[in-house]
Structure formats: structure tokens, C-alpha cells
Amino acid sequence: MRMIDGQPAFPDEAPPDDWREVRVAATEGMVTVRREGNRLTFVVWSNAGVELRQAANAVAWACAEAGAGRVDAAEGPLDAAAFLRTAELPAALRRQDS
């Protein structure tokens, strides 16, 4: 984690219970996670390469898995297991699904 609600954060720092936005560092760039109520939105630049899109999808999958939530994908809402099977993800996560 690099930022919590617009403030620099240590990588192992936990956000407060009322956080609204965190930025997660990936090798390829930053994934912004915004929270509004019980919904999370994952944001990357529109010109993000495949690796950063995969990183954003991995963060979305991890949140859905941890919170027993769903991901609003192009094909409709998917639970974590279905998203893992269908999303553009890093190779390490695709192997996990095998």
C-alpha cells in the first residue's frame, strides 16, 4: 500500500476502519481502490498495459474472495471463483485455478 486517503503510507500500514481510498503498488503501476458504502471500485489509467490490468483484476479477485463478494464483470456479476476462471489475471493466479 502506498497511499491511504491521499496520504503517504508505509507498505505494511493498515488503513483505518473508515478509509475511502487506498493505492496499492504493483510492479507495473498503481491500482486505486475506492470504497463507497459496501462497494469497492478498482481504478487504473485508461492506457494501462496488460500487466497493470491483470494486477487490478488480481486485487479485485482478492477482495471478492476475502469478503465473499462479487465482481461486476463485462459478463455480469461474478463470484470470486467464476472471476478467477474468466478474468485477465497474472499467470500465478491462473495456475491456482487449475
Give the pLDDT confidence score for residue 97 in this predicted structure: 59
The 3-class SS string of the chain reads CCEECCEECCCCCCCCCCCCEEEEEECCEEEEEEEECCEEEEECCCCCCHHHHHHHHHHHHHHHHHHCCEEEECCEEEEHHHHHHHCCCCHHHHHHHC
Full-model pTM: 0.87
Give the pLDDT confidence score for residue 57 in this predicted structure: 95
For the chain, the C-alpha Rg in angstroms (whole number) is: 13
Total count of domains within the chain: 1
What residues of the chain score a pLDDT lower than 70?
A: 96-98
Containing structural domain, residue 70: 3-97
